[in-house]
Amino acid sequence: MTRRKFLVIADDSPEFQAALRYACRRARSTGGHVALLRVIEPAVFEHWSGVREEIERQARQEAEAVLQKMAEFVIAETGHPPEFVIKHADNTRAALRQVVADDPDIKILVLAASVGGRGPGPLVASIAKEGVKWGSRKLPVTVVPGDLTDEEIADLA
């Protein structure tokens, strides 16, 4: 039996840290592990394929560097390295749909709502409005407030 994966979208939003901290706590307390999804959207430079390929190569290197930095935190919190998932997609929702469809070990998607009165955030709003469409798969989505403190997360997770 495989350990369940808590999938977190590794983006640059301020609320990402709350989602990551919560997923790490839940993974540690339930014997699961964390998977980090980093989405690379297509390069808009279309004139020369060599330039586009170089831009995409650099974007991948940056994504790997960001995930490596996050891995240190995940290891410190859970004792296990995270799984890295880097996807090229038109948007985060499309990448998420593909990743969830491809990996049955992903058991919970952890998102954090935006902070500062900006609404829940585009992905949370999209899921709330359109629902979760993973094909025939049912996947729980945990939405945590993006401004939870470490103490509040420890109490909840």
- pTM value is 0.85
Spatial separation of the C-alpha atoms in residues 135 and 61, rounded to whole Å: 31
| Ramachandran angles phi, psi of 120, nearest 5° | -75, -15
104-129 tens-digit pLDDT: 899 999 999 887 766 677 778 777 77
pLDDT tens-digit readout, 70-105:
999 999 999 999 999 999 888 888 898 889 888 989
Q: What is the pLDDT of residue 41?
A: 82
Question: How many angstroms separate the CA atoms of 77 and 60, rounded?
Answer: 26
pLDDT number for residue 77:
94
The CA–CA distances, whole Å, from 131 to 25, 61, 104, 108, 128 equal 26, 33, 19, 15, 6
C-alpha distance from residue 78 to each of 56, 105, 155 (Å): 32, 18, 16
Contact 55, 45 (CB under 8 A): yes
CA–CA distance, 34 with 71 (Å, rounded to integer): 10
